[in-house]
């Protein structure tokens, strides 16, 4: 029975949702229309449902939405500013770090959180940070390239959105 209210900030907009006690943050966000995050395994293994909650990347299938009362939630929808993709999103496209796309929103959010904390990570740190996000298509190499490129764009070492020479 949906009879509980929870107020949280989703991508900068304060929102009140009507939920059940058992509703997970994943389900609540998707029903609200934030469908970038994906329902993968629902047991915290795959990372497809990753969101940033109060500054920390977390798996939304393991959180009840009522625990997010008052929380700030960020998803890839919130990274887009004035119709322009965020450099992390653009880098994933440029590096071909997407095949089926199912893991991508989670990968992007984990990358965003990593680079917010550590603007120029070593490859080992990138692999460690992404170890909770599973991709079954790319073999990860293009994703790691995309994270490095994101870091370069954000630190001003490279331009965002440009095509690679071999494209």
Partner 1 sequence: MRDFVLERPRSISQALEILKNHGEKAILKSGGTDVIVWLHKSLKEPDYLVDLTAIDQLRGIVMNDDNVEIRALVTLNQVIEDNAMNRYFPALVQACKAHSDPLIRNRATVVGNICAAVPSGDMIAPLMCYDAKVEIVGSRGIRKVPVSDFITGPKKTSLRQEEIVTGIRIAIPFVETSGCYLKAIRREALDIAQAAVCCTLHKGDSREFRIAFCAVSPRPLRAVEAEKLLNSSSVIDDSIIENAARLAADAVNPITDVRASREYRIDMIGELTKRAISICLRGPAEEGGPR
Q: How far is CA 20 from CA 3, 65, 89, in A?
A: 6, 9, 33
Q: How many CB atoms lie within 10 A of CB 27?
A: 19
- Check binding of 21 to partner 1 (CB under 8 A): yes
**What character string, x for contact with partner 1 (CB under 8 A) and - otherwise, covers 127-156?**
-xx-xxx-----------------------
Joined together, the tokens standing for residue 130 give 């992404």
- Check binding of 158 to partner 1 (CB under 8 A): no
H/E stretch holding 4: strand 4-10
* Near partner 1 by CB under 8 A: residue from 15, 20, 72, 158: 20
Residue entry with tokens 């692999």: 127
Q: For residue 152, count CB atoms less than 10 angstroms from its CB and return exposed for 0-12, middle for 13-18, buried for 19 or more.
A: middle
Residue 125 or residue 162: which is nearer to partner 1 going by CB? 125
> Following CA atoms 31, 11, 20, 108 in sequence, which dihedral angle do they give, to the nearest 10 degrees?
70
Stretch that binds partner 1, among 9-17, 64-72, 80-88, 145-153 (CB under 8 A): 64-72
CA distance 148 to 21: 40
Residue 129 or residue 153: which is nearer to partner 1 going by CB? 129
How many residues lie near partner 1 (CB under 8 A)? Answer: 29
Residue 129 or residue 151: which is nearer to partner 1 going by CB? 129
Residue 57 or residue 105: which is nearer to partner 1 going by CB? 57
Residues that bind partner 1 (CB under 8 A): 1, 4, 20-22, 24, 42-45, 47, 50, 56-59, 61-64, 66-67, 69, 110, 128-129, 131-133
């Amino acid at each position: 029975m949906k009879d509980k209210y929870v107020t949280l900030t989703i991508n900068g907009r304060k929102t009140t949702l009507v939920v059940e006690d058992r509703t997970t943050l994943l389900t609540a966000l998707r029903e609200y229309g934030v469908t970038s995050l994906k329902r993968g395994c629902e047991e915290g293994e795959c990372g497809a449902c990753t969101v940033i909650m109060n500054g920390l990347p977390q798996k939304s299938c393991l959180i009840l939405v009522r625990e997010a009362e008052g929380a700030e939630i960020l998803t890839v929808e919130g990274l887009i500013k004035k119709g322009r993709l965020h450099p992390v999103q653009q880098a994933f496209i440029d590096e071909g770090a997407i095949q089926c796309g199912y893991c991508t929103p989670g990968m992007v959010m984990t990358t965003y959180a990593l680079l917010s904390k550590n603007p120029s990570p070593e490859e080992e740190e990138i692999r460690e940070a992404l170890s909770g996000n599973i991709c079954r298509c790319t073999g990860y190499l293009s994703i790691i390239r995309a994270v490095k490129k994101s870091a370069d764009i954000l630190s001003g070492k490279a331009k965002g959105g440009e095509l690679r020479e071999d494209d």
